[in-house]
Structure 1
């Protein structure tokens, strides 16, 4: 209707998915790469999830357009309200196979015969299941059984599961453990950010010949983002109506006022109450006690504005702060409980030392037997100060140590009474400090907020989520964390993107990095392992992961024994892992020239090992960061990682403990050097300065008047 008026060759914002309009946003580009990676792997399952309207169907159709039909035969299931038997019939129909028989055995035989025929013609079959969250568990199990079809060593069928976030939760259930082990890659498609939203709109307009008629004001793009939250389908709906309204009014410019008016009209049409984005305060005849400022939740096209404006938060109604407390110190208390925490703390201490608009930064170290110890060697090379406070946990169970940490923290916080408590990541120290601080009404700042692996069986995942919801200020290291926090209802005005503090410390540490030959000699290992034509691989496992469990460790060792014949390995093992290896004689028969076993080494030595390795095998999210920072291919021994950015943009590949995937990735490294990544945004060595800037701005709004004049 409006196309000819604006000189357009077609409608730019139709709701039907159209691959010709595919926009290569950061998230869509990564998701498409995952799908193409899956095609290359030619086995297992690829899982892509995303919210309604995120562009999943367009993504699938774009992939189908790019498939080489001479090599790959793809079929797509769209209607997934299916039981197991119906799934078989639908798959056969989708591949265009004439049905023969009606029994399950006959259907399976028909499908297997067709897939085998494709294999003899050097073709592969791919089944794409859209809206997979609607499948019954029996239907999903049927898909897993179909993945058992083989022709020699070749898998006959590969499946792509595309669905809403509920699909991921479904796959995490115990009943689907076998299928989950066959997922070779998983990606969640989040909304676009503000800049991408603008480029998305302009991209679609330019596809139909747009020449800035109508003209969009800069504020109009911002307003569209606010109302749509960067969801493509919402953007299309709103922009289509904007063009129609502008045409009917014979206008040529779209302003932020136009956007808000049309957005509220759409909300009224779909049955939501309308409101302005901000309400003018009502003057009062008499002064009133000022209420604390609350975060403003901006309404979107589909959100109900009648809901309470605050996101869900923990409350102190049942746990009141102590009546007796020490004097307020106006110092920030940084809680550290791990190796990585000390690495971040070193960078943060340097940034705070240069600021006159921030309180003093005090450090609290939580130490437990068998865990990381901050030695003088670490302090010297990291440039980190002696902790101001140290709490030592007694030997015992994890739960017992956590309870003791809470008790000690409660006493310490009451005595010190800091202005704010800074916690990091999702370790037990962060959760204990957050709970104790929240009980006493102390503000909480969370570094490394919003990271999710979507594996709810991991203690660290639950810890991180709880810390995020208790925090007053959340500082993130990657954009995808903002998507995670938004989905959990945390207001955007509490979240700031700062980058990666580990990069700051690595940049400072590089001149001190110890060459691997000196590290090997220190622990009685021959440096000859470094002379191999392909270099060496570095193995590092966390003390609480695979390296602490005998059966998974035994399986991994079998894989490492095979790898080290072609690529020598240096294994930096925790005390727990070292004991399991020694007590069970796991490395029997392995030549010292193929595998060198080292204890945990100081950071400057570890950076030397990471930086010169041909590849790294690890289950540590920190080592994944370090590998991406230093450009070293990294094989993550989990199917999921909270460090998704290292997979999307960095050098990381999630291979799990799948022997086939690990050997294939190693072979690729030996052939061509492995995955080449790039540094994510704000992984630039300047993160500590940005953290200090945001903390200073936050503190200025909260600090008592006298503390802005003097600092501790």
Structure 2
């Protein structure tokens, strides 16, 4: 295998885009050849184009166009379509990020074909096997040859699962690389709302507001859970107006359960899904975020914005132990209590986690360069970070 062969970098869903952007820049700056493959797991053309444009990601060299389906259908289709690509491209390695179906599908095919697997954002664990992402994380780490972690505790998780620490490198968080790189370009909230035709006197330049995102099945698939959450959201909005970019899955559930019209239109601004620069602008100016998203837990920690996470667990514990995040589940009373505590000026100290400094991708490239030059003989020759 030639060390000059490119690394095949895989993206499939919007969370991947934020992680791959700084990696592609770092590879380019350090002379590491790379090919970008988009599985098409998230297939909204407008949203994809917006993310690629906003984040400065080169257009994919290969697009599998997989589209939607059940977890099994989607994973199988990605595997079926990526196999001939690996045969044609003969990459030096395949690099996967995060925990979506594209990650495990491409890693599994590569591993069985003897192509080394590099996993960025390895070792994160929620301990909740009902989450499909947790299954993807655990299995991808088991078949990866090189694992890059965002926080030091991830190594403990990997060692407990029998993974050789020599394959693991703590480099920091590439999501935060993207945040730092784009912070000055983030769109002001008023501009975003105006461009959406949603000009409002509810939120002015200095008006405190909260950012709400909600999409996980545990929160939106059961009307017995979602209805009380809607009432809780209205209660919060009575004191603090909310901007709510509504995920397509969430919108369909709200409509199916007759709950969309229950959201207070005078205090809650419901928008379509937003591009990265729009969402970043909303986030950096928000007084608080309420979310069940993994990425927003990290980004609010980096920005110093209080975050209330509507989940019972998190695969990003450092956002709780060192950051601005509070886990509350989906019980309305706990949500309200946590919100009040988080809004107090001296509610808690926090600090930016180690290596969340905007340079994670450069560390990855610096470790990969000698690893690739050694011809990927099956041994990790890079120094342990």
Match of 1:344 in 2: 19
Matched residue, 1:452: 125
Change (3 A) 1:518 1:582: farther
Any unmatched runs of 5+ in structure 1? 1-325, 705-712
Kept in 2, the 8 Å contact 1:328–1:417? The answer is no
Contact 1:423/1:446 (CA < 8 Å) preserved in 2?
yes
CA drift of 1:623 comes to: 0.9
* SS of aligned partner of 1:588: helix
Unaligned runs of 5+ residues in structure 2 are 378-385
Checking the alignment, whether the CA contact within 8 Å between 2:75 and 2:105 is kept in structure 1 is: yes
Shift in Å, 1:483? 0.8
Distance 2:163 2:325 in 1: 29
Which of residues 262, 266, 271 is equivalent to 1:593? 266
Residues 1:695 and 2:368 aligned together = yes
Aligned length: 377
Q: Structure 1's 663 and 532: CA in aligned 2 closer, same or farther, altered over 3 A?
A: farther
How far is 1:531 from its partner? 4.0
Does residue 513 of structure 1 match 2:186? yes
* Structure 1 residue 623 corresponds to structure 2 residue 302: no
- The reply on whether 1:666 has 2:339 as its aligned counterpart is yes
SS at match of 2:203: helix
Q: Which residue of 1 aligns with 2:6?
A: 331
Retained in 2: the 8 A contact 1:364–1:390? yes
Counterpart CA distance in 2 for 1:550 and 1:403 is: 31
What residue number does 1:581 align with?
A: 254
Tell me how far 1:670 sits from its aligned partner.
4.0
**How many angstroms does 1:386 deviate by?**
0.1
Query: Deviation at 1:375?
Result: 3.2
How far apart are residue 577 of structure 1 and its match? 1.2
Q: 1:566 to 1:690 in 2, by over 3 A?
A: same
Q: Which residue of 2 aligns with 1:572?
A: 245
Structure 1 pair 542–418 and aligned structure 2 pair: CA distance change class (3 A)? farther
Matched, 1:355 2:30: yes
Contact 1:529-1:536 at 8 Å conserved across structures? no
- 2:3, 2:372 within 8 Å by CA — same for their partners in 1? no
Match of 2:382 in 1: none
Q: Which has the higher contact order (CA 8 A, sep 6+)?
A: 2
The DSSP-based 3-state class of the residue aligned with 1:334 is strand
Q: What's 1:401 paired with?
A: 74
Cα shift at 1:673: 6.9
Q: Give the stretch that moved more between structures: 451-460 or 584-593.
A: 584-593
Q: Structure 1, residues 145-199: CA drift from partner, whole Å, max 9, x if none?
A: xxxxxxxxxxxxxxxxxxxxxxxxxxxxxxxxxxxxxxxxxxxxxxxxxxxxxxx
**Offset at 1:389?**
0.6
Look up the SS of the partner of 2:64 in the other structure.
strand
Contact 1:329–1:418 (CA under 8 A) maintained in structure 2? no
Q: Is the 8 A contact 1:475 1:691 kept in 2?
A: yes
Moved more, 573-582 or 408-417: 573-582
Question: Separation in 1 of the partners of 2:47 and 2:36?
Answer: 12
**Which secondary structure does the structure 2 equivalent of 1:529 belong to?**
coil
Whole-angstrom CA distance in 1 between matches of 2:10 and 2:47: 13
Structure 1, residues 618-646: CA drift from partner, whole Å, max 9, x if none? 11111111111111100111111000010
Contact in 2 for aligned 1:328/1:416 (Cα 8 Å) = no
1:642 aligns with 2:315: yes
